[in-house]
Amino acid sequence: MKNNLVASFLFLALFTATFTGTSAAAAKKSPNIILILADDLGYSDLGCYGGEINTPNIDQLGKNGVRFTQMYNSARCCPSRASIMTGLYPSQAGIADFTSNPNLKRGPGYLGRLTDNCVTLAEVLKPAGYNCYYVGKWHLNEATGPIARGFDEFYGYTKGYAADQFSPNSYHRLPLGREKEINPPQKEFYATDVFSDYAIEFIRQAKEKEDPWFLFLSHSSPHFPVQAPAERADKYDAIYQRGWDVLRRERFERMKKIGLVNGKQWQLSPRSMVPVDRDDIANGYSGKPNPAWDTLEEERQFDLARRMAIFAAMVESVDTGVGEIVELLEKNGDYENTLIIFLSDNGACYEWGPFGFDGGSRQGKTVLHKGDDLRKIGQPGTHQAYGSGWANLGNTPRRLYKHFTSEGGIGTPFIMHWPKGIRKGGTWIREPAHIMDILPTVLEVAGAKYPEKSRGFKIIPKEGKSLLSVVRNASEGVKSPERTLGFSHQGAKALRKGDWKIVWGKRQPEKVEWELYNIAEDRCELNNLAKKYPERVETMAQEWDDWARHVNVIYEGPPLQPKDVPDYSPKKKQAPTCGCAKRVDDASPAIAKTPITILGEVAKVKSKNGVIVAHGGIEFGYAVHLVDGKLAFDVRPDGKITRIIAKEKAPVNFRFTAVLNAKKMTLKLNDKIVAEADSPGLIAVQPKDPMSIGHDTLSSAGQYISPNTLDGEVSKVRVASPKPTCKARK
């Protein structure tokens, strides 16, 4: 079956050291490019940035390449990914804040998905002869997924910010119909490892072709839920039982020894504030500094140390994969002419208090694990975070965290490594740069062109700048021209102009006002000069307003209309449009605690097995599908599957009706009842996984292995409720 649903996953790598060559004109001479993106990795978590986590392979890339001390990001996962992918500010690419339903009043910057007026890394590299591969977390909205936006092959997940690292059904292969080349059993599955395995698999596939290749490896580690095999974390328990205060001081001293911290402009900041929030969410520390480690009870210390040990094991697992990739490149003879860029998408994540959380985010639940339960932290089915105290360690020596536009939120460790393009490695690059500079850098390295038009749309001029000149200038002792960079994320704002920076905070106990810092003299924003230089604040605040209008953060036009927002998703076109259950999002009808009737037509069926329509996953939902040619209806009211199935095989073309109510499950084929049983009950909770047609996008709603793609054509799917909710039926 032809199905356009796509998903994708984000991987990032950058260019390191002194560049000596010119861009290759011929594709056969072009370097391969690997972009490796870590998720929620703090500024100082890597060994080569001062951390105590074991990361020898990444450290080697940093020592032999170049490391940036002032690389900026866009404050959060998906906005940063939008900048990396497009060479634009996230609001220009349509993802100013988050991947969500469009905010029509706020204009084109808040579509919650990539716009038609931007191009991705894959879309600019493919015309230059590159084969493009994506592994891992996408988080640019599944409606504008990796295959639709230029990538040839994909493995990972396309919906949401995270998935259980131990759940193989949460990850899928694209384009639709691709069989998983790597599919370990659940007991052996760990997503971070499998992502690295797929990176290696795609490199091997690329090696069979003569063209250069681009690989984007977008890890979900070490983003929460913090999860790793327990034995990998054990060696870190004793380290983190020493506490964040001691470790912050030790990290700062190591940063001095490796040359990152190079003067009195760097000062270790006090413990950061816990952002203002509901008291249960902030663990009782709303608006207060993170507590001193020695003030915590021993049981709390053990719990917190184990959470951080799991986080460290996730980071080390990423590093192990990097080592395996480098080993393959060396074996294949590709190491010298492969540009590897490694970075994090934002600062370390504080969510939401010093003790972290358990269960769903922002539910106000934090469990104190004791004794044998400590080793259950981070294991299959768990959902835990490590909290603001460890995030403060991760961002040593800076203040605050992801979500904020202070240096702790928007500062990123950034490594570029390319032996053939480097004269001398080990350099620290100290000039300001932004992750939107990756696309222009990759273009110059690959000899590719940035288009004025693509896919029939006029393309926004790129905002980023190639970093090759920055690397050259640094090696020659030449300072690049002064640059202005703007930032905005859910109320937090900043503008960096030359050495000066203004910052507008949020979630703080005192009144929020513009702050002013001289970053050249005060790298950690400890001396607010706003009262001393009010005229500079006023001028820079106006410049921020001008920037915000330029990049669609401030939108003063009329509200967009639904017709102005592109409908990328085939699910939306095939999902209910009238006479159906009330929709709770762009793609899926409401099916919780209500009787449902699913109707549709199927034609030209060639496969014996495959999903016709599915909504939900391993917790709640339903699926209508074929099993050995027979029509089946699977229902998960509370996780357990109940199935009814026809006795005879379905014809090549047929109509179907599946009904679930409080009393009965019924399945009709061409208006004839072919299966019936007592109902297991209504679906208790609205599923997280969206409705899919022709395959199952994420985890399996029925008794099969996703995506279970149907070779056939599905049309006229409706999910009807007893009472019409659409105006068209009134």
CATH of residue 606's domain is: 2.60.120.200
Core vs surface per residue 445-467: b (16+ CB within 10 A) or e: bbbbeeeeebeeeebbebbbbbb
With a cut of 50, say whether residue 301 has pLDDT above it. yes
Residues 270 and 403 in one domain: yes
With a cut of 90, say whether residue 525 has pLDDT above it. yes
| pLDDT above 70: percentage of residues in the chain | 90
Tell me the mean pLDDT in the region 358-378: 94
What is the token pair recorded at 84?
């990396």
Other Cβ atoms within 10 Å of 160 Cβ, number: 16
pLDDT for 24 equals 37
Of residues 1 and 46, more confidently modeled: 46
d(Cα 6, Cα 709) in Å, to the nearest integer? 13
Among the candidates 520, 550, 580, a domain finishes at 550
Q: First-to-last CA distance in the chain?
A: 35
Residues 578 and 606 in one domain: yes
Q: What is the residue-wise DSSP string for 424-444?
A: S--EEE-S-EEGGGHHHHHHH
Q: What is the DSSP letter of 95?
A: B
Show the domain range for 536: 479-550
pLDDT for 423 equals 67
pLDDT for 19 equals 40
Number of domains in the chain: 3
Q: What is the DSSP letter of 709?
A: -
d(Cα 251, Cα 344) in Å, to the nearest integer? 18
Q: What is the DSSP letter of 657?
A: E
Q: What is the DSSP letter of 583?
A: B
Among the candidates 550, 581, 608, a domain finishes at 550
d(Cα 675, Cα 658) in Å, to the nearest integer? 10
Q: Quick one: pLDDT band at residue 28, thresholds 50, 70, 90?
A: low
330 phi and psi angles, rounded to 5 deg: -65, -40
pLDDT for 176 equals 84
With a cut of 70, say whether residue 534 has pLDDT above it. yes
Q: Quick one: pLDDT band at residue 569, thresholds 50, 70, 90?
A: very low
Tell me the mean pLDDT in the region 222-235: 98
With a cut of 50, say whether residue 728 has pLDDT above it. no
Residue 581's closest CA among 654, 686, 684, 700?
A: 686
Give the CA radius of gyration of the chain: 26
pLDDT tens for each residue of 57-106: 999 999 999 999 999 999 999 999 999 999 999 999 999 999 877 888 88
d(Cα 442, Cα 341) in Å, to the nearest integer? 10
How many CA atoms within 13 Å lie on the side-chain side of 714? 31
Residues 496 and 359 in one domain: no
Containing 676, the helix (H) or strand (E) segment is: strand 672-678
pLDDT for 720 equals 83
Residues 229 and 274 in one domain: yes
Tell me the mean pLDDT in the region 385-403: 98
Tell me the mean pLDDT in the region 244-266: 98
In this structure, are residues 582 and 725 in contact, taking their beta carbons and an 8 Å threshold?
Answer: yes
Residues 281 and 328 in one domain: yes
Q: What is the DSSP letter of 634?
A: E
With a cut of 90, say whether residue 238 has pLDDT above it. yes
CA dihedral 433, 272, 523, 431 (to 10 degrees): -10
pLDDT tens for each residue of 676-713: 999 999 998 888 778 888 888 667 789 887 678 888 89
Tell me the mean pLDDT in the region 12-36: 55
Query: 77-86 vs 438-446: helix axis angle to the nearest 10?
Result: 30
Containing 218, the helix (H) or strand (E) segment is: strand 213-218
pLDDT for 654 equals 96
Q: Quick one: pLDDT band at residue 507, thresholds 50, 70, 90?
A: very high
With a cut of 90, say whether residue 139 has pLDDT above it. yes
What is the token pair recorded at 94?
């349509």
- 47 sits in the region (left: phi over 0; alpha: psi -120 to 50; else beta) called alpha
Q: Find the CATH number of the domain harbouring 165.
A: 3.40.720.10
pLDDT for 564 equals 66
Residues 643 and 528 in one domain: no
Tell me the mean pLDDT in the region 551-563: 84
Q: Quick one: pLDDT band at residue 618, thresholds 50, 70, 90?
A: confident
pLDDT tens for each residue of 625-655: 999 999 999 999 987 899 999 999 999 999 9
What is the token pair recorded at 10?
């984000």
d(Cα 386, Cα 398) in Å, to the nearest integer? 18
Of residues 143 and 362, more confidently modeled: 362
| Sign of the CA dihedral with 22 first, then 27, 32, and 37 last | positive
17 falls within a domain: no
CA dihedral 178, 179, 183, 186 (to 10 degrees): 90
pLDDT for 473 equals 77
Other Cβ atoms within 10 Å of 17 Cβ, number: 25
Residues 136 and 232 in one domain: yes
Q: What is the DSSP letter of 234?
A: G
Residues 484 and 470 in one domain: no
d(Cα 191, Cα 604) in Å, to the nearest integer? 36
pLDDT tens for each residue of 111-122: 999 999 999 999
What is the token pair recorded at 157?
């997940």
With a cut of 60, say whether residue 310 has pLDDT above it. yes
pLDDT tens for each residue of 666-675: 999 999 999 9
Tell me the mean pLDDT in the region 609-616: 92
Global pTM value: 0.78
C-alpha to C-alpha distances, 43 to 46, 349, 393, nearest whole angstrom = 8, 11, 9
Q: Is the link from the previous residue into 222 a cis peptide, with omega within 30 of 0?
A: yes
Residues 397 and 492 in one domain: no
d(Cα 283, Cα 286) in Å, to the nearest integer? 7
Residues 275 and 330 in one domain: yes
d(Cα 483, Cα 434) in Å, to the nearest integer? 11
In this structure, are residues 399 and 524 in contact, taking their beta carbons and an 8 Å threshold?
Answer: yes
Of residues 723 and 658, more confidently modeled: 658
6 falls within a domain: no
With a cut of 80, say whether residue 424 has pLDDT above it. no
What is the token pair recorded at 21?
């060559």
Q: What is the residue-wise DSSP string for 521-565?
A: T-TT--S--TTT-HHHHHHHHHHHHHHHHHTTSS--SPPPPGGGS
Q: What is the DSSP letter of 240?
A: H
Question: Given the DSSP bridges, would you call strands 610-616 and 691-693 parallel, antiparallel or unpaired?
Answer: antiparallel
Strands of the sheet containing 642-649, edge to edge, are 642-649, 630-636, 621-627, 610-616, 691-693
pLDDT for 177 equals 85
In this structure, are residues 44 and 411 in contact, taking their beta carbons and an 8 Å threshold?
Answer: no
Other Cβ atoms within 10 Å of 483 Cβ, number: 14
pLDDT tens for each residue of 161-199: 899 999 998 999 999 889 999 999 989 999 999 999 999
Residue count (the chain): 730
640 falls within a domain: yes
Among the candidates 449, 475, 501, a domain finishes at 475
Residues 718 and 655 in one domain: yes
565 falls within a domain: no
Cα-to-chain-centroid distance, residue 43: 17
463 falls within a domain: yes
557 falls within a domain: no
With H, G, I as helix, E, B as strand and everything else as coil, classify residue 80.
helix
Containing 198, the helix (H) or strand (E) segment is: helix 191-207
pLDDT for 676 equals 96
How many CA atoms within 13 Å lie on the side-chain side of 675? 24
d(Cα 579, Cα 127) in Å, to the nearest integer? 45
d(Cα 630, Cα 608) in Å, to the nearest integer? 8
Tell me the mean pLDDT in the region 236-252: 98
Residues 112 and 180 in one domain: yes
Other Cβ atoms within 10 Å of 713 Cβ, number: 15
With a cut of 50, say whether residue 393 has pLDDT above it. yes
505 falls within a domain: yes
Core vs surface per residue 92-125: b (16+ CB within 10 A) or e: bbbbbbbbeebbbebbbbbbbbbbbbbbbbbbbb
- Where in 299-368 does DSSP place strands (E)? 338-344
With a cut of 70, say whether residue 571 has pLDDT above it. no
722 falls within a domain: yes
